[in-house]
Structure 1
Amino acid sequence: MIELHRDDAPQGPFISHMGERGFCINKIWYSGGIWMTGDMACDWLPPALENLTLNDLQPLFDQLPHIEMLLLGTGQNLIWPNGTMRRAMRDIGIGLEVMDSKAAARSWSFLRAEGRLVAAALYPHGA
């Protein structure tokens, strides 16, 4: 299990632990994938990464309509989503940062501390 520590981070969801099958956010364990905005975290049952579409993320975008960037954590390894998904993100004007979920959890804290309008969709480490 990976343990993260919080220094001077803003209010909102903070990932303190990450395991094979989920995440601990603000002392609540989430099994499977998660979505996060600056105000909330919730369970997400992600499709296989190669099948990920913009529609799979629409409820997240509805929560934060003016998002500038999506952190997509792809589990234990960096795996690029399909080209259709990458183009769709570009076409709607949302930056897509793809990284393994551990790196995405660390980046989340940095970007939130900067006050950025960022959301995250993270696959569990065992994905």
Structure 2
Amino acid sequence: MQVRPDAAGPGPRITGFADGGFRIDGRVMTAALLTPQNAAAWDAPALDALDAVALAPLVAVRPEFILIGTGAVMARPPRALVDALDADGIGVEAMDSRAAARAWGILRGEDRWIAAALLPLA
């Protein structure tokens, strides 16, 4: 499946889904951390083990909020993670990873300063 961006903001572009992961700037990544400047393959922990340390590269860019793609289905990230990010002034928006990939394109097209953590689709 391909994702067709309406508008392309600067930074990494997600153009589709492949092999249980994401096609980002011509590479396939099973899981990824995205900032407005960079996309990196990520050895993602299980959602229930996700913490601020795992998201440190995203927190470092001081985004408005972090999109957390929770995998194939929507699930809530750990409360401790949400509370830690909130205490640091960073919001959290959780959704399934396909929806998060689409939201990334829309929000970056609006030039929003966000970050994303995308867990695998499978």
Q: TM-score, normalised by structure 2?
A: 0.92
Query: Which string of whole-angstrom CA distances, capped at 9 and with x for unpartnered residues, describes residues 46-101 of structure 1?
Result: 11110111111112222x1x211100001110011111111111111101000001
SS of match in other structure, 1:97: strand
Unpaired runs of 5+ residues, structure 1, are none
Aligned twin of 2:63: 67
1:5 aligns with 2:4: yes
- After TM superposition, the runs of 4+ consecutive aligned structure 1 residues lying more than 4 A away are none
Structure 2 runs not aligned, ≥5 long: none
Deviations 1:10-53 (A, max 9, x none): 222111111353211111122x2101111110011111110111
Fraction of identical pairs, as percent: 38
Name the structure 2 match of 1:36.
Answer: 34
Counterpart of 2:72 (choices 69, 76, 79) is 76
Instruction: Name the TM-score, length of structure 1 as normaliser.
Output: 0.89
Question: How many angstroms apart in 2 are the aligned matches of 1:83 and 1:117?
Answer: 23
| Equivalent residue number for residue 57 of structure 1 | 55
Give the aligned partner of residue 116 of structure 1: 112
User: Distance between the aligned counterparts of 2:64 and 2:7, measured in 1?
Assistant: 23
Q: Summarize the alignment of residues 99-114 of structure 1 with structure 2, pairs less than 5 Å apart.
A: 99-114=95-110
Checking the alignment, whether the CA contact within 8 Å between 2:10 and 2:111 is kept in structure 1 is no
Number of residue pairs aligned between Structure 1 and Structure 2:
122
Which residue does the alignment assign to 2:84? 88
Richer in strand (by share): 1
Instruction: Name the stretch that deviates more: 85-94 or 20-29.
Output: 20-29
Distance in 1 (alpha carbons) for counterparts of 2:55 and 2:118:
11
